[in-house]
Structure 1
Amino acid sequence: MDLLFVADPIESFKTHKDSTFAMMREAARRGHRLIVCEPSDLVWVRGHRVVARRARTLALTGREQADWFEVLAEGECILAETGAVLMRKDPPFDAEYIYATHLLQQAEREGARVFNRPAALRDHPEKLAILEFPELIGPTLVTRQPEAIRAFHAEHHDIILKPLDGMGGMGIFRVGPDGMNLGSIIETLTDDGATTIMVQRFLPEIAQGDKRILLIGGMPVPFALARIPQGGEVRGNLAAGGRGVAQPLSRRDRELAEHLGPILAARGLLLVGLDVIGECVTEINVTSPTCFQEITQQTGFDVAAMFVDALEAALRDREA
């Protein structure tokens, strides 16, 4: 079966930890053909189907450095003629990302099978998706109004401020009870009131890790990756220097996963990454959830195999 991965430039992959690479390796092991393109390669012309103009068919070399792939062929690929399309473009969740989901949705109308489903990607922006589930999250504010942020700080005293379109811990600030630099941070993140941001009460359980819980086909991977802040950092993100420690799901982790998994899977989200601090869900990641390799390397549980199993099952269900 042909699998088309829509992703960032593959030359930028860090194969020792990249989850898309882990998916590709497992899919290739099962005999599926790997095709890749970037969102900028997607083209639609009236009267024709959506294509990837520069789609490259790959062979994996078995090495995990810059030469981890060979290009076997390059040319135009009609999305509806592939076995499946996997949207794996990293954030930011910006206008270009939204436009790509519209092109992918048109490809769906033409018969393409896209994972995660484009409409579901649009409907679940990663920071804002938690607002649908207030009983599962901590105190949270979404606004661009400085006075609302100051009032939230006055109520909760220790807060986290972050942009809505960031990833990897980018642009996250903590402001304690003294309110140090709160005004400057508000001005910077909101661009003087032009940009909406998220503010949350600081959760001290971050010291035990910001846990990534993977949901695949509505079912939780049995291990989470706790991303533990290092060196005085407030951010546990691996990209911000956090240390990843795989651990079995706690009772609360499993409750959250079993509550949200079926809901999100029914909406066309084959792969979801819940971020959990303490008892609270802090983000619902749907664009390109990661941590496959870290969990597999530390526990022996093959996350990529579980994912490809779920992908193959989803394709069989759609054919039935």
Structure 2
Amino acid sequence: MKLLFVADPIETFKTYKDSTFAMMREAARRGHEIWACEVSDLVWRSGGHVVARQARALVLTGHATDWFNVTVTQELALKDTGAIIMRKDPPFDSEYFYATHLLGQAEREGARVFNKPAALRDHPEKLALMEFPEFCAPTLVTRSPAVIRAFHAEHRDIILKPLDGMGGMGIFRVGADGLNLGAIIETLNKDGRETVMVQRYLPEIAQGDKRVLVIGGEVVPYCLARIPQGGEVRGNLAAGGKGVAQPISERDREIAQALGPRLAARGLLLVGLDVIGGSLTEINVTSPTCFQEITDQTGFDVAKMFIDALERALAG
């Protein structure tokens, strides 16, 4: 089967930890054709099909460096693939939004896309959790500085973050003294032009911001706790957090089993839930990671579970 991965430049992959690479490796092991392109390669001409202008057929070498060889570079109609795996990293900006529309057109032409483009648009990674308040800590979404100040006055210790951030970018903590709250609000909401998410600070972050993976509606039995280091409030690996794999807790399982089947039914084959303590803090749907960290530390093959689920979805 021909699998097209729409991703960031493959030359930038850190293969020792990249989840998209782990997917490719498992798919290649099963004999699937591996192709790759970037969002910028997508083209839709009036009266024509959506194509990847410079799709590359890859052969994986098995080496840590120079990990692929390109055998063919050509224009490829997306409808002529067995499946398209959308793995472009955030930010979910206007270009990402337009890419989901091109992929949606490819679906109408017969392509199978995972995660489903409409579902990507309908589940912004910060906002999506608001549908499930029973699992969340107190959370606020607003442009209003006054409303943010009132939320701080109520909860005293808060986290503020932009809606389009990734990897811990732009996350601030403001304690009971309110130090720098005004400056942080100005920085994030840009004089009322941009919306901000605010959450009550969860001290359980000291034990890690847990990434719980749900594949085809089923929960991966291990999570990766991303533990802040060196006085940081952020556990994100990109912000220097330490990743420690561990069995999921009963609360993790409760959240994942409640959300997983519902999100899978909407076309989200792969979801990454972020859980601090017992509270859901984000629902990641664009390019959830942590496959290799979990596999390396526990022996549970996350990529195998993903390709199994992909093959079942295509056969269904």
- Following TM superposition, by how much is the alpha carbon of 1:73 offset from its aligned partner in structure 2, in angstroms? 0.4
> What does residue 307 of structure 1 align with?
306
Cα distance in 2, alignment partners of residues 283 and 77 from structure 1: 35
TM-score, normalized by length of structure 1?
Answer: 0.98
Mapping 1:132-281, distance limit 5 Å: 132-281=131-280
- Aligned-residue CA RMSD in angstroms? 0.5
> What does residue 50 of structure 1 align with?
50
Cα distance in 2, alignment partners of residues 91 and 47 from structure 1: 30
Cα distance in 1, alignment partners of residues 60 and 70 from structure 2: 9
Cα distance in 2, alignment partners of residues 191 and 57 from structure 1: 43
Instruction: Determine if the alignment matches structure 1 residue 37 to structure 2 residue 37.
Output: yes
The superposition leaves residues 100-147 of structure 1 with CA deviations (integer Å, 9 ceiling, x where unpaired) of 000000000000000000000000000000011111101001011100
> What does residue 76 of structure 1 align with?
75
- Following TM superposition, by how much is the alpha carbon of 1:47 offset from its aligned partner in structure 2, in angstroms? 1.3
Cα distance in 1, alignment partners of residues 232 and 92 from structure 2: 25
> What does residue 10 of structure 1 align with?
10
Cα distance in 1, alignment partners of residues 193 and 249 from structure 2: 40
- Following TM superposition, by how much is the alpha carbon of 1:193 offset from its aligned partner in structure 2, in angstroms? 1.2
> What does residue 287 of structure 2 align with?
288
| Count of paired positions | 316
Cα distance in 2, alignment partners of residues 13 and 171 from structure 1: 24
Cα distance in 1, alignment partners of residues 181 and 64 from structure 2: 44
Cα distance in 1, alignment partners of residues 196 and 152 from structure 2: 14
The superposition leaves residues 167-209 of structure 1 with CA deviations (integer Å, 9 ceiling, x where unpaired) of 0000000000000100000000111111001000000010110
Cα distance in 2, alignment partners of residues 297 and 213 from structure 1: 16
Q: Which amino acid is the alignment partner of residue 45 of structure 2? A: V
Mapping 1:75-154, distance limit 5 Å: 75-154=74-153
Cα distance in 1, alignment partners of residues 133 and 247 from structure 2: 25
Cα distance in 1, alignment partners of residues 191 and 63 from structure 2: 48
Could you say what secondary structure the match of 1:283 adopts? strand
Cα distance in 2, alignment partners of residues 192 and 245 from structure 1: 39
Cα distance in 2, alignment partners of residues 64 and 125 from structure 1: 34
Instruction: Determine if the alignment matches structure 1 residue 21 to structure 2 residue 38.
Output: no
Could you say what secondary structure the match of 1:254 adopts? helix
Structure 1 residue ranges without an equivalent (≥5):
none
Cα distance in 1, alignment partners of residues 64 and 154 from structure 2: 50
TM-score, normalized by length of structure 2?
Answer: 1.00
Cα distance in 2, alignment partners of residues 226 and 167 from structure 1: 17
Cα distance in 2, alignment partners of residues 46 and 171 from structure 1: 40
